[in-house]
Structure 1
Amino acid sequence: MNSPATINWFDDINRLLNEKSDVRSRDWAFMDSPYPLITICVCYLYFVCKAGPQYMKNKKPYNLNKIITVYNAFQIFACLAIIYGMLSSFSLTRFGCESINHSDKENSYRVARWTWWATLLKLTEFLETIFFVLRKKQNQVSGLHLYHHVSTLSLGWITTKFAPGEPTVIPVVLNCIIHVLMYSYYLIALYGGKELQKKIIFWKRSLTILQMVQFTIIIAHIGSSLRSQCTAPKPLLILMLVNILINYIMFYKFYKNTYKKNKKLIE
């Protein structure tokens, strides 16, 4: 049972975070406190790493093709909606530094709101890992997969909490474009059979390359924003940069181990 001192400590942290947060996002769903985010991430990791595999140990894999079809289609349309929403709300005039407009003006508010929707979409992506577990594809629940999902959701939450707006446009739009291609591939591969999967294997490899290209562009974008004359929030940009670099390294190792080794074996 939590002591009054512990409860007060949690309340103090939450109060401090709210004081520093963007006033526009304080009352949005999932944004009031970091504790739901932490709870969801802990439960997610516990289920996909321990509880889920134990539950499936003596069971046959579930056939989730219909559910996964709906899930993939939803992700595609949601990403397209976010791309349209972001680009119709904000005109990109330059690459790099974009200051945040914290006002309630229509376009600035819409960009902030679409940043929030993008964060909620990252929350739904946890289902992908749960599907792996229920289909007994535990080999796909890798460290890269888990880190990517948890870090992306967490960073999305932090961004929406403290600085939703203009600096997020390029990273969010790029990420959604990649995900449209990725979930389109998943949708085709799900029903294509082994022959079709062999024919479109280049697409899977290309998606990993495109992920790294995306990271490179975002790194350049953040680097430009870190210039001293840019008023974008530096701590958030540094956090984003560190996370992107970690993701880039992990994706490159995956690409090297998966595709370069396979190429050598074929040769």
Structure 2
Amino acid sequence: MGGNTATNTSAFVPFFVPPPDPNPSYLEVYPHEANFEFDKWRGWMGQNWAISLYASLFYVCLIFSGRRWMRHRKPYNLRLPLLIWNFLLASFSIYGFTRVFPEIRYLWGINNGVHTSICFRDAHNMATVFWGWWCTLSKMVELGDTFFIVFRKQPLIFLHWYHHITVMTYCWFTYEEYDPALKLFMGMNFFVHGIMYTYYALRAAGIKVPRGFAMVITTLQIAQMIAGVAINIHSLRVKLNGGECYRQSRDIFIALAMYFSYFILFANFFINVYLGKTKRKSS
């Protein structure tokens, strides 16, 4: 595998990341993607990732203050804003998936492709890094989901806000290095969110969606977390055995802890919401 081991003298980049391919054989890169200043913006992210910590602190204070403020007030309807919000996030996620998946599909089609897609930046292209940037920024935008929960007086569970702030912080913290596994994390995130926000948009539009569809979404989320755990275990195993894997050990341990905690929380949510109700109905 090439292009991963050189040293960069930049003050903000901890190691060399090879230039993304502006013209890959497997994907047409659009002008706005090709003109993306990758090194500039990943450097900016490396210098300013702490913004995500400040945003997380402000977010947590705001949502719990909002809940207290809403305690003796009637819930707002917000159906139209909620429909627009979910429609925009669904469209963003679906389109983002169509732009990042071609690289994954290409890598999975070559020899030892799954390992390559996890541990190497081979074949990364301008479209993927551009959408990786927007995916990272979108994690801060998605904090707005909680606004609708608070002001519609819906249940606010730990899983919801914990997942939001940890994903956002991790994405901001690691984009500078352009972790090779980012393409997989991002692809899974775009795919599941595309389905999830479409479901929310349909419900906000008053369209009756079979309840089983919500169970499918939670199942996909659990599968996403299992895949995330597997990706990080593979990375760790390769590095411990002296193999080539151009991921930072620090990032692997953080991501492994995050994905494992998500798996526990989503599995617990699934059991309580779906299996728990089934047991109660049976009894």
Structure 1 length as normaliser, TM-score?
A: 0.81
Residue 128 of structure 1: how far off its partner (Å): 0.6
Q: Give the structure 2 partner of residue 116 of structure 1.
A: 133
Residue 28 of structure 1: how far off its partner (Å): 5.6
Instruction: Give yes or no for the alignment of 1:211 onto 2:221.
Output: yes
| 3-state SS of 2:125 partner | helix
Note the alpha carbon deviations across 1:162-206, whole angstroms, 9 max, x for none: 225x4211221112111111111111222336xx35xx1111112
Q: Give the structure 2 partner of residue 148 of structure 1.
A: 163
| 3-state SS of 1:125 partner | helix
Residue 237 of structure 1: how far off its partner (Å): 1.8
Alignment of 1:186-265 (within 5 A): 186-192=200-206, 196-197=208-209, 200-226=210-236, 227-228=238-239, 229-233=243-247, 234-265=249-280
Residue 118 of structure 1: how far off its partner (Å): 0.8
User: Are residues 123 and 176 of structure 1, via their aligned partners in 2, closer, same or farther at CA, if it must alter by over 3 Å?
Assistant: same
| 3-state SS of 1:96 partner | helix
User: Are residues 82 and 59 of structure 1, via their aligned partners in 2, closer, same or farther at CA, if it must alter by over 3 Å?
Assistant: same
Q: Which residue of the other structure, out of 66, 79, 104, is the alignment partner of 1:52?
A: 66
User: What is the rounded CA distance, in whole Å, between the counterparts of 1:78 and 1:29 in structure 2?
Assistant: 24
Residue 221 of structure 1: how far off its partner (Å): 2.4
Structure 2 unaligned spans of 5+: 1-9, 18-37
Structure 2 length as normaliser, TM-score?
A: 0.76
Task: Give yes or no for contact 2:56–2:165 (8 Å, CA) kept in 1.
Answer: yes
Aligned-residue sequence identity (percent) comes to 22
Task: Give yes or no for contact 1:21–1:161 (8 Å, CA) kept in 2.
Answer: no
User: What is the rounded CA distance, in whole Å, between the counterparts of 1:131 and 1:18 in structure 2?
Assistant: 38
Q: Which residue of the other structure, out of 43, 65, 76, is the alignment partner of 2:79?
A: 65
Q: Give the structure 1 partner of residue 98 of structure 2.
A: 84
Q: Give the structure 2 partner of residue 35 of structure 1.
A: 50
Structure 1 unaligned spans of 5+: 1-15
User: Are residues 17 and 150 of structure 1, via their aligned partners in 2, closer, same or farther at CA, if it must alter by over 3 Å?
Assistant: farther
Residue 18 of structure 1: how far off its partner (Å): 3.2
User: What is the rounded CA distance, in whole Å, between the counterparts of 1:247 and 1:86 in structure 2?
Assistant: 23
Q: Which residue of the other structure, out of 157, 168, 181, is the alignment partner of 2:182?
A: 168
User: What is the rounded CA distance, in whole Å, between the counterparts of 1:257 and 1:87 in structure 2?
Assistant: 33
Task: Give yes or no for contact 1:79–1:176 (8 Å, CA) kept in 2.
Answer: yes
Which structure features the higher share of helix residues? 1
- Number of equivalences: 241
Residue 92 of structure 1: how far off its partner (Å): 2.1
Residue 216 of structure 1: how far off its partner (Å): 1.5
